[in-house]
Structure 1
Amino acid sequence: MEDTKSLCAKIPIELHNRVRASQEESGLNLNQYVEKLIIEYYQMKEMKYMAQTQTRTLALQISEELFARIKNHIDKTPHLTQKAFITELIIKALDEAETQETK
């Protein structure tokens, strides 16, 4: 299991109530929900950076079964888009491949 560390911050009550309501709707505990929000924030920041650079379209065909698995995963993860999910997978795979190449 990954090491963890607490993060505490005071926020306005109205914002706190919104966060807790969304957290309860998500079915996640508070730790999981806040971690997910922070990860999504950094993913959005990365996507914004990528949008500012030249982009290209990558299209491919996949099996119906694989598409259904991807769609199911994305549907279970609020605020996750296909683009963010696939981009993150590609980046992780390339990072791993480049790390192996340098060894």
Structure 2
Amino acid sequence: MELRQYLHAHGKDSIGIIGVSWAEDRFGDPSESRLQRIAAFIDPKIPVVRETDDLVKAFSPLEQVPANFVYNRSGKLIYGDGSPKLMTKKQLEGLLAGSK
């Protein structure tokens, strides 16, 4: 996973990450252990929040995973529209460099 590579190269404190579990109930039985395995693979310190009506409204349309959203330090959305695009390490580095 590219995010894991970014964290390894730049340090785990270089960006803030929150995982949002919004698909667990939509595509079969939710599995807490599966969710925790995925989060731990990237970094075990990443907090994961569950889907709420407010999250769905804020990030819609979410159709597939992964959906990446990047915000600058001021809270402005600089990348992401809810589409299932994989973000590369190079793309993330460019976005973050341009947001300084």
TM-score interval (norm. to shorter): under 0.3
Please give the TM-score of this superposition, normalised by the length of structure 1: 0.26
- Counting helix residues as a fraction of each chain, which structure ranks higher? 1
Q: Considering Cα pairs closer than 8 Å and 6+ residues apart, tell me whether 1 or 2 has the greater RCO.
A: 2
- Counting strand residues as a fraction of each chain, which structure ranks higher? 2
Please give the TM-score of this superposition, normalised by the length of structure 2: 0.26
